[in-house]
Amino acid sequence: MKNKMCFMAATALVSGAGMGAAFAAEGADSFIQNRSIGYVMTSELKAIYDTPDGKAECPNGINDGPREQFKILFPDVPGKKYTVMETQLEREGEIWFPKTTPDKVPYRESQSKVAFGLNLDGKIGANDYTSPEGEKGIDNNLQRAWGCTANYRSTSYNLFAFDNWRKYAYNIVVLELTDVDSLVDDNDVTVTTYRGLDRPMTDATGAKYLSGGTQRLDIRWGKPFISKFKGRIKDGVLMTEGTDYTMPSAGNGSSFADVRYYKTQWRLNVMPERAEGLMAGYIDIADWNSASNQQRSTHHQAYGQSATPSSYRLMMKNADYKDPNTGAAAISMALRVKFTQVFIKHPDSTVAANDAGQAVPAKTAGDRD
């Protein structure tokens, strides 16, 4: 509950109330160098809204996990024998070959009318949410699909115990803000995402992230993670337009499964030494299924009562976007994100190659679009 209240307070700050004076006091603009400032991601959590007792959004209770579902599907009946093929293998098979047929066990959607997130489509529809601050038209259908799953609620042990994957060398997400004249108010800035090559700097305990570190950019192998966003800063809050973005993703002991987010927008409270707020967009369901369901065992998913075949079905049912090129299904969602300030080092030599195999010079710090 404490963590959730802290996030709600942080989200209220992102609304921009009174930020101008705070930034002026900190001398925010003195941290801008060559009209740019960099940040590295230090935390990323699924933004699922819930209440302490869960009754408002989950009146019929929290969903069962894989172990509970297994007992319902295959009850211990005297004289009844089950084969491995029709039990364990059948259930595991649905993870690797997911289905959208009706679920065999009840799996409840969240009934909440409130959700974190952004208005991704610029409309206010009947199925849209209202943010905790009262903003209408919030698109976050993942709230509907996951709001009654213990693994994604604010009381989940997994939610915070394993919020460390951004420390992994592969998962370094860097934002560079360029064309910046002020961190308080600026009508035209550019945000570029990169994969960094350096672990975020921490204190001696490893628990606290420190600003002022350096991030070298992976221009060659990290090319799929480079996206540009047009944005503006008002009262210290950065807001961008929507752009497709692929986030590097390698989980605990798993192989790489990068995740695509369509029409991604950022809304961040940008400060001299840190930034925090929301990243929202439409997450590619197949990418998520590969990164989460298929690369984590049912045993581990059971810790948070995450029944993966059922979760996949609800995501597909509530999908509200399709990749115009491939037709891949995606669902609106939001992430709570935190960053710390870093100094970005652009490659100063020929490090990348185009599709024809010809070397191309990478940009230096003074060479901007």
Contacts for 243-249 with beta carbons within 8 Å, 24 or more apart?
245/193, 245/281, 247/173, 248/170, 248/171, 248/172, 248/173, 248/195, 248/222, 249/171, 249/291
In a domain, 369, yes or no: no
Length of the chain (residues) = 369
- C-alpha to C-alpha distance for 92 and 208, rounded to whole angstroms: 39
Query: Cα torsion for 252, 257, 262, 267, to the nearest 10°?
Result: 30
pLDDT for residue 167: 64
- Element of type H or E holding 267: strand 259-270
- C-alpha to C-alpha distance for 88 and 90, rounded to whole angstroms: 5
pLDDT for residue 30: 65
Among residues 129, 158, 126, which one has the least CA distance to residue 143? 129
CA 29 to chain centre: 28
In a domain, 368, yes or no: no
In a domain, 17, yes or no: yes
Domain count, the chain: 1
- C-alpha to C-alpha distance for 176 and 272, rounded to whole angstroms: 13
pLDDT lower than 50: segments of the chain: 1-13, 15-26, 352-369
pLDDT for residue 4: 45
Instruction: Give me the DSSP letters along 113-171.
Output: SB---B-SSS---TT-BB-TT--S-BB-HHHHHHTT-GGGSTT-HHHHHTTTGGGSGGG
In a domain, 194, yes or no: yes
Between the alpha carbon of residue 65 and those of residues 54, 150, 303, the distances in Å are 17, 9, 8
Contact (CB, 8 A) for 120 and 261: no
In a domain, 231, yes or no: yes
Contact (CB, 8 A) for 211 and 273: yes
pLDDT for residue 360: 41
Q: Is the dihedral of CA 100, 101, 102, 106 positive or negative?
A: negative
For residue 224, the enclosing domain spans 2-361
In a domain, 132, yes or no: yes
Residue 132 amino acid letter: P
pLDDT for residue 163: 60
Q: Is the dihedral of CA 183, 187, 193, 194 positive or negative?
A: negative
Between the alpha carbon of residue 239 and those of residues 34, 139, 275, 313, the distances in Å are 21, 16, 12, 32
